[in-house]
Amino acid sequence: MKNNINVYPILLAGGSGTRLWPVSRQLYPKQLAKFIGEDSLIQSTIKRMTPTLNMENIRIVCGKDHVYEIARHMEEIGIPAEKKILAEPCGRNTAPAILLAMLQVIKKDSDAVLCVFPADHVIRDERVFHERLESALKLAEMGYIVTFGITPHYPETGYGYIEGAGEIAFGALSVKRFVEKPDLKTAEQYIDEGNYFWNSGMFTFKASVMIQELAVHHSELLHKMKQLPLEGTLVSLKDYQQLPNISIDYAVMEKTDKAAVLPSDFGWSDIGSWKSLYDFIPKDTNGNVIEGDVISENTKNSLIMGHERLIATNKVKNMVVVETPDVVFVSDMENSRDVKSIVEKLKERGRSEYQKHKTSYHIWGTLTNLEATPDFSVVRRDMYPGSKCEIKTDGSTVKHLIVITGVAKSTTNNQSRFLYAGQSLVLTENQMLILENTGDESIVVIIVKASSTLMDSTTVKA
């Protein structure tokens, strides 16, 4: 299958991962975070497909706020990002996201086969995954729309289920029905019956078959999407908001007679909560999952994850403790998924912690808020090699820039100069400066912003 050039992996990277707050946030969702090993979830997903699928054909559909960071994650693992990322101006569920990628692909290859995967899922047994993927590709060539049904090992109430019927080929079953998330008693019944599978949200199909089924079962979406100008990689917000907000399950899979469920048992998880992350990761002898600078005494069956500060625990069990530079989240394990309600309260109160971290990501690098008071603020800019950014002041503030590492090129009023480590300049009221990193290594710049009445710029030489 490696040389099957008309197979296109489509990664859906538009989720927010609220139940994994405070690591996952609106502007830095879970697919960009590193929970397991050195790779982010989206990097792991890409690498998982590499032995079987052609990475030149990959397409990633994501929110417009995440384009540059996803591109950087791709480049880090050797996948050129140019023309491979499609940005949604707003979320409209999985059917528009899949169709957006599909319409771009069929312009190049009308006979393309699409493999659709969420970018934030994990799989433990990649060998079995590749075997199932090859079976799915064969079924897709036969005209089926294949969904990967995960063999359930316990009565999970957080997933939707698929009921399988008669066998088709390659171990796949026809789909009798899709069912919503069940209560515990119903989930236990599904396990006993043996022909129910977790709905993984992963699909394989020929683009031409899906287009035909959309024309029959949801022609409104197909018609409206075809009217959009799709030459670039970003659709306008006004146009995209007119599309139906609908999942591919509701739009097609629950109605088509071409659906096939491929029973799969390859250690899959959608990492939808701290509990599911804990369940997926191997434990130490005390049943703990520990990451970061942690000292634990008499601690059992807990997930403890630190990012910046020391965490010390004593005589706790069945707990989740997650530290980020600006938030500490503590919960018992079983109810840790209820963090979503905390995020909603933060949003209602206008707190920025629901949306972003202290460090934000930009095309030119990262911006970290070090301190902020009513009188002044201090930020750190880490700029990637070859990048540049604008820095402005208004009529009542000045900014003091200090180069910490590297060499920065500054341009003000068409005049340029190089600033070396330890050198600084002051940007006075209503000025704009272009800051560039022309070297091969990242540079670090500290910027102090203060009221012009507090910082006398005339005492500091640029």
* Structure tokens, 127: 């060998």
Return the H-helix or E-strand segment holding 354: none
**Is 252 among the domain residues?**
yes
Do 63 and 209 belong to one domain?
yes
What is the rounded CA–CA span in Å between residue 227 and residue 461?
57
Tell whether the model's pLDDT for residue 14 goes beyond 60: yes
Dist CA 145 CA 116 (whole Å) = 11
The encoded tokens of residue 40 equal 């982010």
- DSSP state string for 394-417: -TTEEEEEEEEESEEEEEETTEEE
Whole-Å CA distances, 243 to 214, 388, 441:
14, 36, 43
Length in residues, the chain? 462
Percent of the chain at pLDDT exceeding 90: 81
Q: Is the pLDDT of residue 458 over 50?
A: no
> To 10 degrees, what angle do helices 219-227 and 207-217 make?
110
Query: Which residues have CB under 8 Å from 69's CB, separation 6+?
Result: 28, 32, 361
Q: What span, in angstroms and rounded, lies between the C-alpha atoms of 381 and 360?
A: 10
Decide the pairing of beta strands 85-88 and 289-291: unpaired
In a domain, 178, yes or no: yes
> CA–CA separation, 272 vs 160, rounded Å?
13
Are 42 and 104 in the same domain? yes
Digit-coded pLDDT (tens) for 59-84: 999 998 899 999 999 999 999 999 89
CA 221 to CA 215: how far, in whole Å? 9
**Domain co-membership, 44 together with 171:** yes
The stretch 14-30 carries a mean pLDDT of 90
Same domain, 159 and 73: yes
Domain endpoint, select from 269, 304, 328: 269
Q: How confident is the model at residue 1 (pLDDT cuts 50, 70, 90)?
A: very low
Structural domain ending residue among the three candidates 269, 285, 304 = 269
Helix (H) or strand (E) holding 97: helix 94-108
Task: State the pTM of this model.
Answer: 0.89
DSSP 8-class letter at 17: -
Q: Please indicate, yes or no, whether residues 387 and 261 belong to a single structural domain of this protein.
A: no
Residues 188, 139, single domain; the answer is yes
1 within a domain of the structure (yes/no): no
- Are 26 and 126 part of one and the same domain? yes
Residue where a domain stops, chosen among 347, 373, 404: 347
If asked whether residues 76 and 165 sit together in one domain, one would say yes
CATH number, domain containing residue 430? 2.60.120.10
> Do 52 and 146 fall into the same domain?
yes
N- to C-terminal Cα separation, the chain: 60
The pLDDT value recorded for residue 461 is 37
- Spatial separation of the C-alpha atoms in residues 181 and 196, rounded to whole Å: 12
pLDDT mean over 123-132? 95
- Overall domain count for the chain: 3
Residue numbers of the domain that contains 139: 7-269
Q: Of 24-28, 238-242, 249-253, 298-302, where does mean pLDDT reach its minimum?
A: 238-242
Per-residue pLDDT for 2 more than 70? no
Model confidence band, residue 259 (pLDDT cutoffs 50, 70, 90): very high
CB distance 45 to 363 below 8 Å? no
pLDDT band at 233 (very low <50, low <70, confident <90, very high): low
